[in-house]
Amino acid sequence: MRSGPWLWILLGAVLLIGAGFAFAMTGRTIEQPIAFNHQLHVEDLGSDCTDCHLYAMTGVRATIPNVEVCADCHAEAQSESAEEAKVVAYVEAGEPIPWRKIYWVPDHVYFSHRRHTAIGGIACDTCHGPMGQASKPMQRPFVKVTMEGCMDCHEQAGASNDCLLCHK
């Protein structure tokens, strides 16, 4: 049986999608809508990761802070910062800040922050780097999320590498 042009078109589309995904996972940089200064909040003001990332210890996802979390401190300006003025404007408008995710796992993988932080005792900076010292937002993941990286970490920690624990 002869393969028609549709087979080649389909193959080309699959290769393009795969190449795009590979690029997205390795070479992309992310620009945030606000140049959030973690150092100011953590070192200077004494905030903890979980003050803003509410479910890092208790949930499947750590969550990106919503505007209500920011409103706790920024219902009005605390400084003359242009970046803080952007936060205050989102708070006053009641609009979500369009933060862009840096980390994600494929849909077929199950990952729980709670299992890794509260149960596993892994510190946030193990995967996210020294965020408390960062005066500018991350543009790419500190640790690339790969199966090999997860398997290595599990092995070093003595955690199970059973496929069904993480793969749906």
Locate the domains of the chain by residue range.
33-64+99-166
pLDDT at 3: 60
Q: What is the largest CA-CA distance in the chain?
A: 72
Closest CA to 41 of 105, 125, 133, 138: 133
Please indicate, yes or no, whether the overall pTM of this predicted structure exceeds 0.85. Answer: no
Please say whether the beta carbons of 63 and 54 come within 8 A. Answer: yes
Please report the pLDDT score of residue 168 as a whole number.
Answer: 85
Record the tokens describing residue 16, joined without a space. 């393009």
- State the DSSP string of 111-164: --HHIIIIIT---HHHHH-SGGG-SS--SS-SS---HHHHHHHHHHHT----HH
Report the pLDDT value the prediction gives residue 27, as an integer from 0 to 100.
Answer: 61
Residue 58 in contact with residue 5, Cβ under 8 Å?
no
The type of residue at 94 is G
From first to last of its 168 residues, the chain has per-residue pLDDT tens of: 556 666 666 666 555 565 455 445 456 789 999 999 999 999 988 999 999 999 999 999 998 999 999 999 999 999 999 999 999 999 999 999 999 999 988 999 999 999 999 999 999 999 999 999 999 999 999 988 899 999 999 999 999 999 999 998
Predicted local confidence at residue 44, as pLDDT? 87
